[in-house]
């Protein structure tokens, strides 16, 4: 199975938000309290660029409305109540000393 190497293990600093583009898809590699996460770059609520957000514990805060998205599940309590979905979170794997994402993980979500 094909995979994309993202960064060497341990390179991402705590609280870091790093933009990554894979096959034209804009993503963010984020290091929260419990470790790294790979998420969509755009907020599902109002389309804001989360690269300008901040990391709070194990959540990413949207810079526009301060909504908090869980980095493990993508959930935001306000999203369920207001009828918009979670932030897409992609499964990371470790391989040959790198954080990676499998190609099929990305292909299954491209609309």
**Does position 62 have pLDDT exceeding 90, yes or no?**
yes
Tokens of residue 29, six digits: 């590699």
Domain containing 89 — which CATH number? 2.102.10.10
- Return the pLDDT at 106: 74
Per the domain annotation, does 46 fall within a domain? Answer: yes
Is the residue at 29 inside a domain? yes
Tally of structural domains, the chain: 1
Helices and strands in the chain, H and E counts: 2, 10
Closest CA to 56 of 98, 11, 102, 15: 15
Q: How far apart are CA 29 and CA 40, in angstroms?
A: 9
Residue of 58, 26, 64, 29 lying closest to 45 (CA atoms) = 64
3-state secondary structure of 80: helix
Q: What is the pLDDT of residue 78?
A: 77
What pLDDT shows up at residue 1? 64
Q: Is residue 110 part of a domain?
A: no
Task: Give a yes or no: residue 19 inside a domain.
Answer: yes
Q: Which domain holds residue 77?
A: 3-102
Residues 3-25 as b/e (b if ≥16 CB within 10 A, e otherwise) read: ebebbeeeebeeeebbeeeeeee
Whole-model pTM? 0.90
Q: How high is the pLDDT of residue 80?
A: 66
**What pLDDT digit, counting tens, does each position of 6-52 carry?**
999 999 999 999 999 998 899 999 999 999 999 999 999 889 999 99
């Amino acid at each position: 199975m094909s995979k994309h190497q993202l960064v060497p293990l341990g390179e991402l600093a705590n609280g870091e938000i790093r933009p990554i583009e894979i096959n034209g898809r804009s993503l963010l590699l984020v290091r929260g309290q419990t470790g790294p996460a790979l998420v969509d770059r755009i907020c599902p609520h109002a389309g804001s660029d989360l690269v300008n957000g901040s990391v709070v514990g194990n959540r990413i805060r949207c810079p526009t409305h301060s909504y908090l998205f869980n980095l493990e599940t993508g959930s935001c309590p306000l999203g369920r109540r207001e009828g918009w979905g979670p932030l897409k979170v992609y499964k990371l794997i470790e391989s040959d000393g790198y954080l990676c994402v499998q190609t099929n993980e990305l292909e299954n979500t491209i609309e």
